[in-house]
Structure 1
Amino acid sequence: REHSMRTLNSVLALMAGLTLGVPATAFADSDRSLLQRAGIEHVLLISVDGLHALDVTRYVDSHPHSALAQLSRHGVTYSNANTPFNSDSFPGLLALVTGGSPVSHDVFYDVSYDRTLYDPANVTCSGPAGNTIVYDESIDLYVTDPATGLAVSRNVINPTRLPRGRDASGQCGPVFPHSLLKTNTIFEVVKAGGGRTAWADKHPAYDLVNGPSGKGVDDLYTPEITNVGGLDATVSVVCTVENDALKVKGILNEIHGKTHDGSASVGIPTVFGMNFQAVSVGQKLAADNATPNCNRADGDALRGLPGGYTDGSGTPTRVLGYGLDKTDAALGAMIDALQEAGIYESTLFVVSAKHGQSPLNPARVNKPGHFADLVATLPDAATDPAGIAIASAANCASGPCGLVQDDDVALVWLQDQSQTQAVADYLNKNAKALFIENVLAGPTLKLRLNDPALDSRTPDLFVEPQYGVIYTGSTKKNAEHGGISFGDTNVALMVS
């Protein structure tokens, strides 16, 4: 038992970056020998985005013959694993593949801000630096489907959509997602040791996992889930499952030693994996396929039904239950493939989540509007310098004028950082009207993150809302992630 736990902790300290009470030290030769003695030759890392520790407990108890139950019986389930501060997709995934947090890798959100970069249109990197940096579905290269007239991603990045920056030689060029990282990844470590790597995720922007070298993943597969001007699979848990299935097929091919598309035999990766979106989408949807845009017979019975939970105890709705069941079935297919390939016993199977979702209790959902819009309703917002500073950051289209990013948290980058304390005081004074639980700025923020005065990407203010508050006016979703609540951060972690 002790030997087994030491082996697990060695791997997780390297890969997970989760709060397990073990130091995130470098992977030493002694750690490697432990893995060799345990007979571990491959690691299959799965992120079921949104999956709470509570979801695992409930599902295993109610589905004793499920894949999750099988993995639980043959491994260790951690009930108190937590994502780092903050719990969005980018930092959550980087926790798994770097062992770090925004303090080390310096990545906060797929849409954030950097005081040293420039707008994509500023091809000469001229003028004052500072700009919003966008790494979501909008940076894809799109073509028009002649049959439907809809936009379809080619599942690659369009460099003209990327922020610009100067490289080490002073040349101005596009900044790819992988260039953001200030730490290496497990994929780069494995490649340096002669191993093969593979990963699948929801947007081409997950080039991120390649790490600073840009070459960490041998086989990166990123079928776009949200086509701008085309099919958005996330309007429906059924269409989301279809997108997940593309990645699952890739994993099954890789288990059998092929590339994700099955076109070549290249050997089984040393470290590989993917993310699932069906649970996350099933948690968030206020009404499944409400538009409807996902015309699938399988989805007729779910159309218009709410996602999430029916109560504060984690009982899933039919929509979320569908996502959980389909994800579990896919995990079962992976187990079967590992057994068929004869590598089940030599593969460490890790199931975790980039993030949770909040609120779990549907009775606590409160969507008062976007954070900056709420600030704008304050009586003195148009005259108080702090209110004006928030409005300026929120309305900044491009250039060094700041950003307000919100979900179930609000991150604020100010144009004038000397106003930080005044803005924090203003927000605290109006905390009730703004549904604020806590404002981190100055010394309190530096206890958790890097100093914004010294780090170009750290926000000046981190606003934690009251539990259940989502800073949005959207009627499409009843839960979000990105914050630091228990629902956001207490995620699944199974090692089998």
Structure 2
Amino acid sequence: MGGATSECHQKSAFVSASLTCHGRQSMKVLTRVLTGTTLVTGLFSLVMQSTPAFAANTVQHVLLVSIDGFHAVDLEICVAKGTCPNLEKLTDHGFTYTNASTTKPSDSFPGLLAQITGGTSKSTGVFYDDSYDRKLFAPLCASGPGDEVNLAENTEFNLHSIDGGKSSSLTGLNAGVAIDPNNLPSQKVSGICTPLWPHNFIRTNTVFGVLHKHGFRTAWSDKHPAYDIINGNDPDTQPVNGPGTNVDDFFAPEINSDLSAANISLIHSVGLSSTAPDPTPISGDDFTKTLDGVEWYDGIKVQATLNQINGLDHTGKIGLGTPRLFGMNFQSVSVGQKLKGDGYVDPVATPSAGLANAIKFVDKSIGQMIDALNKRGLAERTVVIVSAKHGQSPIDVSKRKALDDGMVIKGPIGANFAFDIGDDAVLIWLKDNTGGKTAGAVAALNGFAGDTGIGEWLSGPLLKLSYQDPAKDSRTPDIIGIAKIGTIYTGGSKIAEHGGFNEDDTHVALLVAHPDLKERSIDTAVATTQIAPTILKVLGLEPQELEAVRLEDTQVLPGLFRERD
């Protein structure tokens, strides 16, 4: 991970240091191709028994990087083709988990919460950033109980402005100040209507709360101020009616704000900058509508992360010291997968020029972070974890089929329909789920004359195998539709989506790197929920301090700690 030493002189688990660069690269590709065979499985078992991992007590920092949409195959291809040299350097001193899965549903909220709680929707109670709760009310208790819970740009004072309507969300240490409590879902406490903040909506604590309790500083950058949810449910220390405070430096410029000259100027006027060139403003679009726009947007967060590595706050103006846990979310790859004319050019995940550019940008950004760690002398004391909240489906864009969920889901259910969220899966809540009404709704969907886009319906006992009982839990959907590969519920032009249960949605990249680690590719099935307990153990804390870890018996990632080898 960094340094001027050529990777040809680094000794790996299987490759002799005397091999040439060309020989090493060929062996790398061959090893990845063979992963999963009996021969390689046996070799990996031998290496895991004989090769020590890093000494955890030397690590003082964890840099967590989440790349929306980044599949395991995206990492494999770019390393094999040499188009992501900085990620490749991390694999030279890292464990690549080739069979990692994110949550089901694979939405951004549960996907990130998995990495920082150690749990799935079953524990966190969070199924999507736009969901439903049978006990909650609309903002200001305008309707309910039983209402939509939408925690995205809609919660802000001004969703058109990159600062959410509050300039202090960019210049201060808590982007949550851009959340207007009048836009939040509501609950009634002793008969009084009160807003429910995102950090109180989640049902469990997070790594940020655990670290805060131990006096460690943390930081995170993401796409909406509503990511206040990452502070976690911590009623003893967190505000009831105000932004959470477990994350010491929370930065979240609004990605769905206008791609306007005013927003670009606003970033410059408050003293912030991006590592990417200013994009061309486009009236009526937001930062997800062009690759130049989203790379500039992501570059703001990259610069914030570089400032934090250098011991400053995200603005680069206040000296606070490098956080113990910090990192950011990238949107560029996800946008490159969705935009019409970009995505993948064939069924085997060859990226288009636009998507390749987005991956190159992310790789360059990660390289800047690694360089900054090296210059600060922090590389030996930092574990870098790279993964994704979700994948994107379909990779084979010829399978894309766009449907209107209002017509093919809401329509067949009729009057008992309460709410659904459909991207490339469908989560359905009913007004009344008693007395066989759920089975009746499934029968109506199966009897629909048209194409619902669904290959399998989960309800009743099938649904309760993975989630809480919707008859008893206010958050759990009554019905989940697992879509046929290629189904997207949209009226727009996007060519891929996430949130679903298919391979393209859930099979994500996962890489853990540190200079002491020797290159290893592990094909054991793992989950991104295992990142959270691994973070705590790396930093010398007890994973069992995470409530979801206890509830779901989540283990640390295999192979990283000596006592588990």
Fold similarity call, TM over 0.5: yes
User: 1:248 is matched by which residue type in structure 2?
Assistant: V
- Structure 2 distance, partners of 1:92, 1:222, is 17
Q: Deviations over 1:395-441 (max 9, x none)?
A: xxxxxxx2111110111111111211111122233487222200001
Q: Which of 491, 509, 525 pairs up with 1:492?
A: 509
- What's the offset of the Cα at 1:275? 0.2
- Structure 2 distance, partners of 1:51, 1:227, is 24
- Structure 1 distance, partners of 2:382, 2:300, is 22
The answer for the alignment partner of 1:53 in structure 2 is 72
Would you say 1:203 and 2:224 are equivalent positions? yes
The answer for the alignment partner of 2:317 in structure 1 is 263
Residues 450, 339 of structure 1: CA spacing in aligned structure 2 closer, same or farther, 3 A cutoff?
same
User: 2:349 is matched by which residue type in structure 1?
Assistant: G
The answer for the alignment partner of 1:93 in structure 2 is 112
Residues 200, 431 of structure 1: CA spacing in aligned structure 2 closer, same or farther, 3 A cutoff?
farther
Would you say 1:335 and 2:334 are equivalent positions? no
The answer for the alignment partner of 1:165 in structure 2 is 187
Would you say 1:105 and 2:104 are equivalent positions? no
- What's the offset of the Cα at 1:388? 3.7
Helix, strand or coil: the match of 2:121?
coil
Q: Which of 281, 289, 296 pairs up with 1:235?
A: 289
The answer for the alignment partner of 2:153 in structure 1 is 137
- Structure 1 distance, partners of 2:457, 2:474, is 20
- What's the offset of the Cα at 1:197? 0.4
User: 1:199 is matched by which residue type in structure 2?
Assistant: W
- Structure 1 distance, partners of 2:381, 2:449, is 53
The answer for the alignment partner of 2:433 in structure 1 is 417
Helix, strand or coil: the match of 1:495?
strand
User: 1:454 is matched by which residue type in structure 2?
Assistant: K
Deviates more, 1:245-254 or 1:132-141: 132-141
The answer for the alignment partner of 2:82 in structure 1 is 63
- What's the offset of the Cα at 1:231? 5.1
**Contact 1:153–1:224 under 8 Å retained in 2:** no
- Structure 2 distance, partners of 1:91, 1:375, is 23
- Structure 2 distance, partners of 1:180, 1:144, is 25
- Structure 2 distance, partners of 1:413, 1:144, is 30
The answer for the alignment partner of 1:479 in structure 2 is 496
Residues 463, 143 of structure 1: CA spacing in aligned structure 2 closer, same or farther, 3 A cutoff?
closer
- What's the offset of the Cα at 1:152? 6.2
**Contact 1:164–1:174 under 8 Å retained in 2:** yes
**Contact 1:370–1:406 under 8 Å retained in 2:** no
> TM-score scaled to structure 2, two decimals?
0.71
**Contact 2:209–2:232 under 8 Å retained in 1:** yes
Q: Deviations over 1:283-326 (max 9, x none)?
A: 0111xxxxxxxxxxxxxxxxxxx111000001001111111011
- Structure 2 distance, partners of 1:416, 1:58, is 48
The answer for the alignment partner of 1:374 in structure 2 is 408
Residues 143, 308 of structure 1: CA spacing in aligned structure 2 closer, same or farther, 3 A cutoff?
closer
The answer for the alignment partner of 1:285 in structure 2 is 339
The answer for the alignment partner of 1:254 in structure 2 is 308
- Structure 1 distance, partners of 2:163, 2:204, is 35
- What's the offset of the Cα at 1:122? 2.0
- Structure 2 distance, partners of 1:35, 1:192, is 26
Q: Where do residues 380-459 of structure 1 align in structure 2 (5 Å cutoff)?
A: 381=412, 386-389=413-416, 393=417, 402-418=418-434, 419-430=437-448, 433-459=451-477
Helix, strand or coil: the match of 1:484?
coil
Helix, strand or coil: the match of 2:135?
coil
**Contact 2:164–2:179 under 8 Å retained in 1:** no
Would you say 1:178 and 2:208 are equivalent positions? no
- What's the offset of the Cα at 1:448? 1.4
Helix, strand or coil: the match of 1:480?
coil
Structure 2: segments with no counterpart, 5+ residues: 1-12, 14-52, 170-177, 235-243, 259-282, 514-565
- What's the offset of the Cα at 1:121? 3.1
- Structure 2 distance, partners of 1:334, 1:84, is 27
| Greater RCO (Cα-Cα under 8 Å, separation 6 or more) | 2
Question: Which one has the bigger helix percentage?
Answer: 2
- Structure 2 distance, partners of 1:143, 1:49, is 22
User: 1:373 is matched by which residue type in structure 2?
Assistant: M
- Structure 1 distance, partners of 2:320, 2:191, is 38
User: 1:130 is matched by which residue type in structure 2?
Assistant: G
Residues 143, 351 of structure 1: CA spacing in aligned structure 2 closer, same or farther, 3 A cutoff?
closer
- What's the offset of the Cα at 1:376? 6.6
- Structure 2 distance, partners of 1:178, 1:110, is 13
User: 2:421 is matched by which residue type in structure 1?
Assistant: Q
Residues 66, 107 of structure 1: CA spacing in aligned structure 2 closer, same or farther, 3 A cutoff?
same
- What's the offset of the Cα at 1:489? 0.3
- Structure 2 distance, partners of 1:268, 1:231, is 36
- Structure 1 distance, partners of 2:88, 2:159, is 43
The answer for the alignment partner of 2:136 in structure 1 is 117
% identical equivalent positions = 42
- What's the offset of the Cα at 1:372? 2.7
- What's the offset of the Cα at 1:144? 7.7
Helix, strand or coil: the match of 2:508?
coil
**Contact 1:202–1:225 under 8 Å retained in 2:** yes
Structure 1: segments with no counterpart, 5+ residues: 5-33, 287-305, 394-401
- What's the offset of the Cα at 1:172? 2.5
User: 1:282 is matched by which residue type in structure 2?
Assistant: G
Residues 467, 431 of structure 1: CA spacing in aligned structure 2 closer, same or farther, 3 A cutoff?
farther
Helix, strand or coil: the match of 2:316?
coil
Would you say 1:82 and 2:114 are equivalent positions? no
Helix, strand or coil: the match of 1:417?
coil
Q: Which of 318, 343, 354 pairs up with 1:319?
A: 354
> TM-score scaled to structure 1, two decimals?
0.80
- What's the offset of the Cα at 1:185? 0.3
**Contact 1:202–1:223 under 8 Å retained in 2:** yes
The answer for the alignment partner of 1:220 in structure 2 is 250
- What's the offset of the Cα at 1:83? 0.7
CA RMSD, 1 decimal: 2.2
- What's the offset of the Cα at 1:194? 1.5
User: 1:201 is matched by which residue type in structure 2?
Assistant: D
- Structure 1 distance, partners of 2:88, 2:349, is 18
- Structure 1 distance, partners of 2:250, 2:479, is 35
Q: Deviations over 1:252-286 (max 9, x none)?
A: 01001111111211111001110000000000111
User: 1:176 is matched by which residue type in structure 2?
Assistant: W
User: 2:342 is matched by which residue type in structure 1?
Assistant: G
- What's the offset of the Cα at 1:471? 1.7
Q: Which of 177, 196, 214 pairs up with 1:193?
A: 214
Deviates more, 1:316-325 or 1:36-45: 36-45
Q: Deviations over 1:447-495 (max 9, x none)?
A: 11111111111111001111111122222x0000001000000000000
The answer for the alignment partner of 1:8 in structure 2 is none
Q: Deviations over 1:73-113 (max 9, x none)?
A: 11011110001221000000000000100000010111110
- What's the offset of the Cα at 1:58? 0.3
- Structure 1 distance, partners of 2:380, 2:490, is 46
Q: What is the aligned residue count? A: 417
